[in-house]
Chain A
């Protein structure tokens, strides 16, 4: 069964303290690994898609990387406004016209000033 696991469940950082979030996946024929940001009571906001091992993408203080079993979201010198839940999702090969995503439980990041 396809599965996505994220760790840690929660992370508290001081402003400027860099760290990484982990996403492990077991998906048949990966067709994309996605990172989203979710603020309380809101919908997931798209951040990145990674398609193949070794690929990296960056946006401001965030960098996402991908291996054959894991993805990491690196946060460099975070600010309080980076506080949110970060969701990882994977899309496998399911055939037909479906792009359904399998989500992890997320990492709740709190950045203190």
Chain B
């Protein structure tokens, strides 16, 4: 069964460093998303991507964040200068229409 794949599963980084989280969405899907979940809190929308551009972003998704789909298969989230409060599980999701399928997440720990 097709699935969304995320790497790495866990990343520890120093505050102020750049991180890139990677995702391989399901191959025939058209919509791509990043969500995050701070420990013990709700899953929160960050950004949606369609037709090679951002279609919507939340207030959380400020200038420190960027997304790319560099080729036909990968979808990345870059955080330019990480802060302690960026520590969370980051989930990539993809959808052919309205039903989004999530990856297993990358646990980002900023120290």
Contacts and interface: CB of A to CB of B under 8 A. Distances in A.
Interface stretch (A13-21, A59-67, A70-78, A92-100): A92-100
Nearest to A4: B42
B98 interface: yes
Nearest to B3: A43
A46 B41 CA distance: 19
B100 interface: yes
Given A103-B44, A105-B42, A97 B51 contact: yes
Chain B contact residues (Cβ within 8 angstroms of A): what range? 20 to 34
B87 interface: no
Interface string B85-103: 0000101000101111111
State the 10 A-B residue pairs at the shortest beta-carbon distance, nearest first: A43-B102, A98-B56, A97-B50, A103-B43, A97-B55, A100-B45, A44-B102, A98-B48, A98-B55, A43-B104
A97 B56 CA distance: 8
Contact of A87 (B43, B44, B51, B103): B43
Contacts, number: 67
A94 B41 CA distance: 24
Would you call the interface of chain A mostly helix, strand, loop, or mixed? loop
11 contacts: A41-B105, A42-B104, A89-B43, A97-B51, A98-B48, A98-B50, A99-B48, A99-B97, A101-B35, A104-B42, A106-B42
B5 to A, nearest CB: 11
Select the residue from A34, A91, A98, A105 with max chain B CB neighbours within 10 A: A98
Contacts of B75: none
A102 B60 CA distance: 14
Contact of B103 (A34, A43, A91, A96): A43
B72 to A, nearest CB: 19
Contacts of A100: 33, 45, 48, 56, 58
Contacts of B55: 96-98
A46 B31 CA distance: 16
